[in-house]
Amino acid sequence: MEKLTHFIRSSQKHYFPFLLWGIFLLAPFFLHGWALEQIAHHTLYGVLAMSLALIWGRAGILCFGQAIFFGLGAYSMAVISLASSLPYASFLGLVGSAAIPAFFAFLVGLFLFYNKPRRGKLFHSTPRHILSGAAIAMITLSLGIMCERLITQINFLGGANGLGNIPELQWGAKTIDSSKIIFWINGFTAFIFYSLFYVILSKRWGLILKAISQNEHRLQELGYDPSFYKIFLFVLAGACAGVAGGLLATQLNFVSADLTGLALSSEVLIWVAIAGRHNIILVFITTLLLLFLESVLQDKIGSLWLLCLGGTFMLRVLIHPVGKGFFLMPKWPIRQDMATKHKDNKSSKEAKV
């Protein structure tokens, strides 16, 4: 009997996020019209936020340019589906919108994390070659601004005006334009990425990523190579953000340089920080709530919204250092033995400075 109650309790913890996903994916039966379309778009931004939560929340790498991959995915989709007259243009576009940002993320990851190998040992680095978190933040910040400026200079990508008339997703010869099906495409994309992250994080990898965020040097001394894991994580998050961007391009039928810019990157950062960055499902839900609130309040308060968001974010960082769960909520651990308490966090922070 005790075993049974234990099992139920632990499974509640395990399956609660999946229950939420089930409810979420049933939304088209309750909602329709404008609200459904809005939530479908917000789902894609939610995927972007989840990808940032993966690298910032789990591995502790503050990436200030997550929108680069999002925008790159959107542009890849736009260019492929506008240029090619192939029958599977939208399928090819989706593949491209995952592959191109992933490749770019690989290059960025290599640039940020790869260290000169020691004699005879590939992928083994000395601790002094690890960039500090602030340096990575500044590099990705500059990279985001650079990408935005660069895209406005390229005529092939529409320059500052952006690219319009992007065809919608197609299945064979049929265009998908039902808002329910679009919602399900977006929802299942989000669900698939969530499950992927869930599987990765609940295995050995999750522990290693946590170790990277807590004390990278010690992990290195134990014989692991953090740079390999970080680069892999960047690639995964880049592909995830890219697919979301590609889907958004087909649904808005328009892309512009704003999608890669600093404004979107910092907004994503704000969503993730307000949600407490650790819990990926919480990040997703918070993003949806914030965006829905924004789209409802847009007409009434206009630019006051972003002001409130910035203020909330600032207070959030000041009052309650990011990364210690939601305001007063306990963290929902992915596996009990991994939910290490942040007791020695303070000392490691001091050591970092």
Partner 1 sequence: MNLFTFLIDITSFSLILLLVAVGLGVIFGLMRIINLAHGEFFMLGAYASYMTVQLTGNLWLGIILAPMATALLGFFLEFFLFRILYRRPLDSILASLGLSVLLRQSVILFFGPAILSIDPPLDRSLLILGDVYPLYRLVVMGLAFLVLGITFFLFYRSRFGLWLRASMADREMAQAMGIHSRMVDNISFTYGAGLAGFSGAVIAPLITIHPHMGTGYLVPSFLAVLIGGGLTGTVVVVFLIGLCQNSISSFFSPVSAQITVLFLAILAIRFPPQKLKGIKWRN
Name the site residues for partner 1 (rule: CB under 8 A). 62, 111-112, 127-135, 137-139, 141-143, 145-146, 149-150, 152-153, 216-217, 262, 266, 269-270, 273, 303-304, 306-307, 309-318, 321-322, 349, 352-353
Residue closer to partner 1, measured from CB, 192 or 293: 293
Exposure on the CB side of residue 38, measured as CA atoms within 13 A:
16
Q: At closest approach, how far in Å is the CB of 266 from partner 1?
A: 6
H/E run at residue 297: helix 280-301
Closer Cβ to partner 1, 85 or 303, answer by number: 303
- Rounded Cα distance, 273 and 262, in Å: 16
Cross-strand pairs, 163: 255
Q: How far is CA 152 from the centre of its chain?
A: 24
Q: In terms of CB distance, is 87 or 127 closer to partner 1?
A: 127
- CA angle (143 as vertex; 285, 219 as ends), nearest 5: 70
CB of 111 to partner 1, least distance (A): 7
Q: Quote the least distance from Cβ 289 to partner 1, whole Å.
A: 18
Q: Which is nearer to partner 1, 6 or 129 (CB)?
A: 129
Within 10 angstroms of residue 311's Cβ, the number of other Cβ atoms is: 10
269 near 57, Cβ under 8 Å? no
| Residue 32 Cα distances to 183, 261, 265, angstroms | 10, 32, 30
Shortest distance (Å) from residue 326 CB to partner 1 = 16
Report, in Å, the least distance between residue 279 CB and partner 1: 18
Q: Coil, strand, or helix at residue 118?
A: strand
Q: How far is the CB of 236 from partner 1 (least distance, A)?
A: 22
Rg (C-alpha) for the chain, rounded Å, is 21
Which one, 132 or 340, has the nearer CB to partner 1?
A: 132
Using the minimum distance from each CB to partner 1, give the nearer residue, 79 or 143. Answer: 143
Q: Which residues of 178-193 are buried (b: 16+ CB within 10 A; e: fewer)?
A: ebeebbbbbbebbbeb
Instruction: Please give the Cα distance from 32 to 208 (Å, whole number).
Output: 43
Helix (H) or strand (E) holding 310: helix 304-319
Query: Minimal distance in Å, beta carbon 296 to partner 1?
Result: 18
Comparison of 106 and 184: residue with beta carbon closer to partner 1: 106
